[in-house]
A and B are shown apart, each in its own frame.
Chain A
Amino acid sequence: EDQVTQSPEALRLQEGESSSLNCSYTVSGLRGLFWYRQDPGKGPEFLFTLYSAGEEKEKERLKATLTKKESFLHITAPKPEDSATYLCAAISSGSARQLTFGSGTQLTVLP
């Protein structure tokens, strides 16, 4: 059974304090690793897809990286508007092409 685990559950940062969110996955044949951002009371918004170990993608203050066992979402010099829940999801060859989601990391950036 595919599993995706995110840590920490919650993270509080001061504005400008860089950090990383972790997503560990155990899947049978990774076909893609996804990061989404979710604001309170809203649906998730797509951020990145990573397909192979060593791949990196960047968008503004966010950079996602992928290894054979985990993915990191690095947040550089965060601003209060980066506060949200960040969801990680994986799709595998053994999952009938359905996503398995982690439980998310709730990020709060204080001014």
Chain B
Amino acid sequence: DGGITQSPKYLFRKEGQNVTLSCEQNLNHDAMYWYRQDPGQGLRLIYYSQIVNDFQKGDIAEGYSVSREKKESFPLTVTSAQKNPTAFYLCASKSVGANVLTFGAGSRLTVL
């Protein structure tokens, strides 16, 4: 079945550590997205990529980095510069020209 796989499901990080969240899709979608979800808030866009080797900052990119070396993969690194990284992170994808996003199951990051 086609879909988006995010890993790990749960991740704990000590302050000062960088962590990388994985996102892999087999939907042959061109565009991929990372969102952050906090309680009581809407999804906020961190980074997005519409083509391999190219990506753009979203509304809250500070403290995060991404790469898009393959069409199927869009990993997100949460760096030590992110002041409040504890959140639920969602990866999504869509075909270019389409509007409907398909989401992964999410990764919950907790900073200890």
List residues of A whose CB falls within 8 A of some B CB. 4, 9, 31-32, 34, 36, 41-46, 49, 87, 89, 91, 97-104
> Does B99 reach chain A (CB closer than 8 Å)?
yes
Interface residue from B42, B106, B108 paired with A87 (Cβ < 8 Å): B42
Say yes or no: A44 contacts B90, CB within 8 Å. Answer: yes
Given A34-B100, A44-B90, A102 contacting B42 (CB threshold 8 A): yes
If A41-B108, A98-B45, A98-B58 touch, whether A46 touches B102 (CB-CB below 8 Å) is yes
Inter-chain contact count A-B, CB under 8 Å? Answer: 52
User: Given that A98-B48, A98-B58 are contacting pairs, would A44 and B42 also be in contact in the complex, using a CB cutoff of 8 Å?
Assistant: no
Q: Is the interface of A mostly helix, strand, loop or mixed?
A: strand
- Closest chain-A Cβ to B52's Cβ sits at a distance in Å of 19
Cβ of B63 within 8 Å of any chain A Cβ, yes or no, is no
B40 contact from A9, A41, A89, Cβ within 8 A: A9
Task: Determine whether B17 belongs to the interface, using a CB cutoff of 8 Å to chain A.
Answer: no
Q: List residues of chain A with CB within 8 A of the CB of B92.
A: 43
What number of B residues sit within 8 Å (CB to CB) of A? 22
B103 CB to nearest A CB, Å:
3
CB contacts under 8 Å to A, within B83-112, are: 90, 92, 99-106, 108
Query: Is A101 in contact with B99, judged by CB distance below 8 angstroms?
Result: no
| B positions within 8 Å CB-CB of A | 4, 6, 35, 40-45, 48, 58, 90, 92, 99-106, 108
Q: Which of A32, A34, A43 contacts B104 (CB 8 A)?
A: A43
How far, in whole Å, are A98 and B103 apart by their CA atoms in the complex? Answer: 15
Which residues on the A side are within 8 Å of B104 (C-beta)? 43
Q: Which 6 A-B pairs have the closest CB atoms?
A: A43-B103, A101-B42, A101-B43, A103-B42, A32-B99, A44-B103
Pairwise interchain contact B48-A42, C-beta atoms closer than 8 A: no
Contact B43 A46 (CB under 8 A): no
- Shortest B105–chain A CB gap in Å is 5
Q: Are B42 and A4 in contact (CB under 8 A)?
A: yes
Given the complex of chains A and B, what is the CA–CA distance between A20 and B105 in angstroms?
A: 27
